């Protein structure tokens, strides 16, 4: 019996890291992308789609509020497998209600359940990752987890949307087509639940509150102590500044990159077709992003986060200059545009590994699951607010001056990188 438990606690990361983060990415894509396409297919107005699906992002922003409960109640492993079963049931409910007259209202309620379940699953999965792997392995596999998260996004907003379109064309029944897609997703999550129930390791320290822990008053004290401990961290202002400002420029660029590629030259865009954008940004760009993420994780595992921080800060932000060039030259050479996209996305993937590892370093110690979730909440806030303002800024500046502004907006990231403290050797594989 002991030997079997030891085997379960020493699973090779390749046996569970890819499937765990593929399962983390899919519900986000379903709630944020597939819901929009489905409602559009069903004739829901753009106003209603934007209003109601926009609110579905809220659980990921506020998830730090309940992250201490995931730390305190049961194990992270338990949360992961139970929530994957809940997500499978929610996906099945969307399929079952697809033909009902009140489908819009019913499906929105189900998507709210999925959004909260998915956000909570994110907390548990990220905490489990940090518990189950030593620091050097966290660094080495950060590219793997990012890769499979992105593969989930490609599978969702690419493959499943394509499948729904083809089923609608051949069968002529849009609702049945989407019911089929959600049935496939439900079966996939039941399979992930079954697989992870057996294959996830059982790391030491993954236990939640002890059975002898005092009652609700003590639980509330622990809950508050988790937040207090985070905001009492040394150099907390520098930490928050780095989390909020590291992606200030990139948050704005990401919102306007695809509109810039699609807009015609008369509107200072590159005038690419939707198919070309899918190839340049969705295929070439994603491959470069993935390679950058893998190499970034390996670099930190070899040299440590402290030595890699400045090269990675530069790798994220300096390639933004390619958009200034593209908006100025407006080239027609497809290969040149693809190369520019590949350069920018590779740099972003390579440098973003440092941001992920920095959050892991900040969260390390007591309450690491909850503290990492708090970090990701600040990360989401740092992306959401600048992204919301980016369209208004571009309308007043035009693409060329907007991308120059984006480059200027990266300067706070450099300033904050100079202020943060990195533990010597953090992320480096010893020996």
Domain co-membership, 244 together with 131 = no
pLDDT of residue 179: 93
In this structure, are 164 and 246 located in the same domain?
no
Q: Which pLDDT does position 152 carry in this prediction? A: 86
Q: What pLDDT, in 10s, does the model give residues 403-431? A: 999 999 999 999 999 999 888 878 787 64
pLDDT score, position 7: 47
- Same domain membership, residue 410 and residue 352: yes
Residue-wise pLDDT tens digits, 187-225: 999 999 999 999 899 887 777 654 445 555 666 677 778
Pick 159 or 407 by higher pLDDT: 407
218 inside domain: no
- 137 and 242 inside one domain: no
Do residues 167 and 238 both lie within one domain?
A: no
Q: Is residue 423 part of a domain?
A: no
Which whole number is the average pLDDT over 61-65? 78
Residues 229 and 200 in one domain: no
Residues 87 and 127 grouped into a single domain: yes
**172 and 294, same domain (yes or no):** no
Whether 128 has a pLDDT exceeding 80, the answer reads: yes
Q: Residue 430 domain-assigned? A: no
Task: Kindly state whether residues 247 and 346 are assigned to the same domain.
Answer: yes
pLDDT confidence bin for 46, thresholds 50/70/90? low
What is the structure's pLDDT at 50? 54
Confidence label for 291 from pLDDT (cuts 50, 70 and 90):
confident
* Domain end residue (candidates: 204, 238, 270): 204
Cα end-to-end distance, the chain, whole Å? 33
Please check the confidence at residue 22 and state whether its pLDDT lies above 70: yes
Is 120 or 64 the better-scoring residue by pLDDT? Answer: 120
Residue 20 pLDDT > 50: yes
Q: Which tens digits make up the pLDDT trace of 383-399?
A: 777 877 777 788 788 88
Give a yes or no: residue 209 inside a domain: no
User: What is the model's pLDDT at position 143?
Assistant: 74
Inside any domain, residue 249: yes
* pLDDT at residue number 323: 94
Mean pLDDT of 371-386: 82
Domain boundary among 153, 172, 204: 204
Mean pLDDT of 313-325: 92
pLDDT above 70 (res 263): yes
Q: Supply the mean pLDDT for the chain.
A: 83
Residue 194 belongs to domain spanning = 2-204
In a domain, 427, yes or no: no
CATH number reported for the structural domain that contains residue 248 in this entry: 1.20.1250.20
- Candidate from 93-102, 110-119, 279-288 with smallest mean pLDDT: 279-288
Whether 146 is in a domain gets the answer: yes
Give the domain-ending residue among 204, 234, 267.
204
Position 208 scores a pLDDT of 61
Domain assignment of residue 425, yes or no: no
Which pLDDT does position 183 carry in this prediction? 96
Q: Does the structure show a pLDDT above 80 at 112?
A: yes
> What pLDDT score was predicted for residue 374?
85
- How many domains, in total, are found in the chain? 2
232-259 pLDDT, tens digit per residue, is 888 899 999 999 999 899 888 876 776 6
The pLDDT of residue 192 is: 96
Asked if residue 312 and residue 252 are part of one domain, the reply reads yes
pLDDT of residue 158: 65
The answer to whether residues 31 and 145 belong to one domain is: yes
Q: 41 and 99: one domain?
A: yes
pLDDT one-digit tens code per residue, 167-185: 877 877 889 988 998 999 9
């Amino acid at each position: 019996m002991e030997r079997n438990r030891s085997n379960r606690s020493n699973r090779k990361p390749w046996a569970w890291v890819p499937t765990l983060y593929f399962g983390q990415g899919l519900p986000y894509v379903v709630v944020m992308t597939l819901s929009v396409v489905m409602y559009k297919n069903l004739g829901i107005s753009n106003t209603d789609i934007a209003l109601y699906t926009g609110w579905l992002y809220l659980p990921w922003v506020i998830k730090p509020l309940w992250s201490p409960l995931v730390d305190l109640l049961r194990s992270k492993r338990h949360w992961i497998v139970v929530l994957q079963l809940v997500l499978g049931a929610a996906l099945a409910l969307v399929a079952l209600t697809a033909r009902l007259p009140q489908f819009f209202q019913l499906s929105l309620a189900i998507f709210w359940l999925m959004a909260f379940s998915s956000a909570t699953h994110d907390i548990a999965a990220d905490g489990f990752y940090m518990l189950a792997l030593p620091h050097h392995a966290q660094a080495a596999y950060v590219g793997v987890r990012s890769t499979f998260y992105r593969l989930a996004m490609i599978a969702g907003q690419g493959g499943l949307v394509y499948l729904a379109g083809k089923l609608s064309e051949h069968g002529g029944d849009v609702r049945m087509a989407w019911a089929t897609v959600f049935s496939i997703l439900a079966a996939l999550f039941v399979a992930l639940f079954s697989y992870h129930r057996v294959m996830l390791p059982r790391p030491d320290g993954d236990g939640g509150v002890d059975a002898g822990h005092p009652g609700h008053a003590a639980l509330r004290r622990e809950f508050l102590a988790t937040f207090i401990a985070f905001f009492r961290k040394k150099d907390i202002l520098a930490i928050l500044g780095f989390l909020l400002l590291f992606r200030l420029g990139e948050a704005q660029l990401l919102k306007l990159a695809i509109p810039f590629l699609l807009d015609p030259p008369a509107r200072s865009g590159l005038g690419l077709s939707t198919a070309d954008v899918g190839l340049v940004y969705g295929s070439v760009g994603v491959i470069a992003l993935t390679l950058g993420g893998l190499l970034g994780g390996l670099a930190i595992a070899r040299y440590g986060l402290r030595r890699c921080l400045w090269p990675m800060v530069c790798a994220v932000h300096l390639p933004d200059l390619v958009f200034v060039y593209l908006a100025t030259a407006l080239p027609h050479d497809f290969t040149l545009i693809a190369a520019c996209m590949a350069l920018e996305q590779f740099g972003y993937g390579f440098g973003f590994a440092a941001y992920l590892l920095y959050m892991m370093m900040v969260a390390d110690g007591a309450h690491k699951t909850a503290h990492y979730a708090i970090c990701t909440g600040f990360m989401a806030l740092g992306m959401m607010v600048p992204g919301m303002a980016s369209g208004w800024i571009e309308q007043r500046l035009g693409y060329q001056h907007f991308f120059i502004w984006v480059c200027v907006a990266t300067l706070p990231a450099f300033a904050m990188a100079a202020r943060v403290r990195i533990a010597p050797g953090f992320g480096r594989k010893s020996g």
